[in-house]
Amino acid sequence: MDLKGKVALVTGGSLGIGTSISLDLAQNGADVALTYRKHEKEAKAIVDKIKAMGHRAQEYKVDVSDFGAAQELVKDVRDRFGQSNYTAAKAGTIGLTKTVAKELGRSKVNVNAVAPGLIETDMIKNMPDDFKQSSLSETVFNSLGKPEDVAYLVSFLCSEKARHITGEVIKVDGGQYI
């Protein structure tokens, strides 16, 4: 099963069946948010295991029988993970890049896309610290990229030195998604 790009919210994910569900979803590619009420240590251990698999994960102490708390939980998970519009836009960009590269290749036009990861920008500065730290720990370098890291690649792709590169999506993410 390929659950890459999907986000799962598992209530009671810190023990028993919930733990198995959380881990299996992650093993199949999903990012996982899980809830607990009393077992914080166990919840954090499951989150650590999921992160070690290379996926995003977060534990939430919440009583899901409380409607207001459940609404807040879903909102936070959506804000932290549930960026479906962004994901759809990225997928569209990748498809467009490959299609246009095929169409314009006969005219010797190169078409590539650049996919930046965590880059030191105002957007990253406004990101919640816990999410930023979690994302940083996923990178090989454990650091943010700089805007010029992306700019150097774009300049290279626009140069004659990249004349035989087309239809590619090149990540500048410090190894976050290796």
User: What is d(CA 24, CA 45) in angstroms, rounded to the nearest whole number?
Assistant: 15
User: What is d(CA 19, CA 166) in angstroms, rounded to the nearest whole number?
Assistant: 43
| Residue whose C-alpha is closest to residue 78's, from 66, 67, 90, 70 | 70
| Residue whose C-alpha is closest to residue 165's, from 149, 175, 153, 173 | 153
What is the set of active-site residues? 86
